[in-house]
Chain A
Amino acid sequence: DTEVTQTPKHLVMGMTNKKSLKCEQHMGHRAMYWYKQKAKKPPELMFVYSYEKLSINESVPSRFSPECPNSSLLNLHLHALQPEDSALYLCASSQVARSSYNEQFFGPGTRLTVL
């Protein structure tokens, strides 16, 4: 299984809502990532988890709250978002061995619209 899955595919939420994005991989990868991508722009790194511990937070606002319940799952909890947070949210995973390329495998993304 070389797939990263993300749910939901699309999400529309109001600024007062609380919602969660989910990501799952079964490749045995121990690093997982959240990215935000705006139209016609490259992905922007938000968070990195390594061995289920948060290792990188790219100064993301606290209205985004990541969670890694186990080595296969990654969640992104959303609360009090702003319209400018509307974007494609991508999850990725990779190995962590220093000797490997550690290629990042991306999921299809969740298209988020904040009204």
Chain B
Amino acid sequence: QQQVKQSPQSLIVQKGGISIINCAYENTAFDYFPWYQQFPGKGPALLIAIRPDVSEKKEGRFTISFNKSAKQFSLHIMDSQPGDSATYFCAARKGGNNRKLIWGLGTSLAVNP
């Protein structure tokens, strides 16, 4: 059972467009929701993260929107660039000492020039 469901599996966007990746979760004990970006042959890198007491967080061209009642969160990449082409993973983690991240299955983003 996938605890964090991510969609779409793949996404093609034109340069300058908006890329939107969605994630949904069931466990209300999750209290930390990071997004990771991974380029081929590299380890994942933390892109942006949010806690459920905030509905939106923006860092540069990257924004997380969080809907606690719907148990959904999404990543928006504004003005998408070819250099943003990568795999994006959403994740979630329970509070407390448990440091285990529950990962979505990933979205492969291709930004066409």
Chain B binds chain A: yes
CB distance from A58 to the nearest CB of B (A): 8
The docked-state distance in angstroms from the alpha carbon of A106 to that of B89 is: 14
Q: Which 7 A-B pairs have the closest CB atoms?
A: A106-B43, A42-B103, A109-B43, A106-B44, A108-B43, A90-B43, A103-B46
Digitize A25-49: 1 where CB-to-B-CB distance is under 8 Å, 0 elsewhere. 0000001010000001111010010
B residues contacting A by CB (< 8 A) are 32, 34, 36, 41-46, 49, 51, 87, 89, 91, 96-97, 99-101, 103-106, 108
Q: Which residue from B41, B51, B89, B97 sits with its C-beta under 8 Å from A42? A: B89
The docked-state distance in angstroms from the alpha carbon of A105 to that of B45 is: 7
Q: Given A31-B99, A94-B99, A98-B96: A42 and B43 within 8 A (CB)?
A: no
- Chain B contact residues, majority secondary structure: loop
CB distance from B45 to the nearest CB of A (A): 7
Q: Given A41-B106, A42-B106: A108 and B42 within 8 A (CB)?
A: yes
Closest residue of chain B to A9 (Cβ to Cβ) is B41
**Residues B99 and A48 in contact, CB atoms below 8 Å apart:** yes
Q: Given A42-B103, A42-B106, A45-B100: A101 and B43 within 8 A (CB)?
A: no
CB neighbours (8 Å) of B34 from chain A are: 101, 103
The docked-state distance in angstroms from the alpha carbon of A52 to that of B87 is: 32
CB distance from A48 to the nearest CB of B (A): 6
CB neighbours (8 Å) of A90 from chain B are: 43-44
CB neighbours (8 Å) of A4 from chain B are: 43
**Residues B49 and A109 in contact, CB atoms below 8 Å apart:** no
Digitize A73-105: 1 where CB-to-B-CB distance is under 8 Å, 0 elsewhere. 000000000000000001010101010011111
Closest residue of chain A to B106 (Cβ to Cβ) is A42
Q: Given A41-B105, A103-B34, A105-B46: A98 and B97 within 8 A (CB)?
A: yes
